[in-house]
Amino acid sequence: MEKSLTLLYTASLNGEIDALPRLYTALKLLRGRIESGRTIYVDAGGACSPDAWHCAVTGGRSMIVALDGMGCAVANVNEVLDPEAREKLGDNLALTLIDAAYPSHISDELIFAIAPPHGTDPDQLTILLAKGVTTYLRDRVLHLSDLRGASQFGMVNLEQIDGVWGLANYAIHDIAPATPPDPTIAGAVDFILSEARYARKRQAGDADTP
Decide if pLDDT at 121 tops 90. Answer: no
- At 210 the pLDDT is 35
Burial, 117: exposed, middle or buried (Cβ in 10 Å; 0-12, 13-18, 19+)?
A: middle
Average pLDDT over residues 131-136: 95
Q: Which residues of 18-53 are buried (b: 16+ CB within 10 A; e: fewer)?
A: ebbbbbbbbbeebeeeeeeeebbbbbbbbbbbeebe
- At 185 the pLDDT is 98
The pTM of this model reads 0.93
Q: Which residues contact 13 (CB under 8 A, 6 or more apart)?
A: 19, 20, 43, 46, 47, 48, 63, 149, 150
- At 39 the pLDDT is 96
List, for residues 154-207, the tens digit of each pLDDT value: 999 999 988 889 999 999 999 999 999 999 999 999 999 999 999 999 888 765
List, for residues 29-88, the tens digit of each pLDDT value: 999 998 878 999 999 999 999 899 999 999 999 999 999 999 999 999 998 898 889 988
- Provide the 8-state DSSP code for 106: E
List, for residues 4-38, the tens digit of each pLDDT value: 999 999 999 999 999 999 999 999 999 999 887 89
- At 118 the pLDDT is 77
